[in-house]
């Protein structure tokens, strides 16, 4: 697992687990459609007995931190953009098609 930067370590004081494990499971909750109980089961498979309510607190606490760090690295986009969306028939099945276009 990648190391957590030094300036982020202050946010993990008093945690019962390492910052890299916490961020891994917060990422997994945000990225995939997993329940807290499924994450709890995955933690126990990895040898860590963490309750699903603790996982929920981690997500509530650290999602904002991750979002702030990601947005700081995000490239600025032009102020004007639009999104087109429609349904098209592809091989006899209706599928959702969308695209975002900036100027």
Q: Has residue 43 got a pLDDT over 80?
A: yes
- Residue bearing tokens 């990648």: 2
Q: Is 87 helix (H, G, I), strand (E, B) or coil?
A: strand
Quick one: what percent of the chain has pLDDT higher than 90? 10
For residue 37, the model assigns a pLDDT of 92
Q: Has residue 1 got a pLDDT over 60?
A: no
The model's pTM is 0.59
For residue 103, the model assigns a pLDDT of 66
Q: Has residue 96 got a pLDDT over 70?
A: yes
Looking at residue 17, the DSSP 8-state letter turns out to be S
For residue 9, the model assigns a pLDDT of 73
Q: How many CB atoms lie within 10 A of CB 82?
A: 9
> Measured between alpha carbons, how far is residue 34 from residues 26, 29, 47, 56, 86 in Å?
11, 6, 19, 12, 28
Cα 23 from Cα 28, distance rounded (Å): 8
């Amino acid at each position: 697992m990648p190391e957590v930067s030094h300036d982020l370590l202050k946010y993990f004081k008093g945690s019962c687990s390492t910052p890299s494990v916490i961020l891994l499971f917060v990422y997994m909750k945000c990225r995939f459609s997993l329940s807290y109980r499924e994450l709890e089961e995955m933690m126990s498979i990895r040898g860590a007995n963490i309750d699903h309510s603790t996982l929920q607190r981690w997500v509530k606490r650290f999602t904002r931190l991750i979002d702030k760090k990601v947005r700081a690295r995000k490239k600025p986009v032009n102020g004007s953009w639009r999104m087109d969306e429609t349904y098209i028939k592809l091989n006899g099945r209706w599928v959702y098609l969308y695209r975002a276009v900036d100027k």
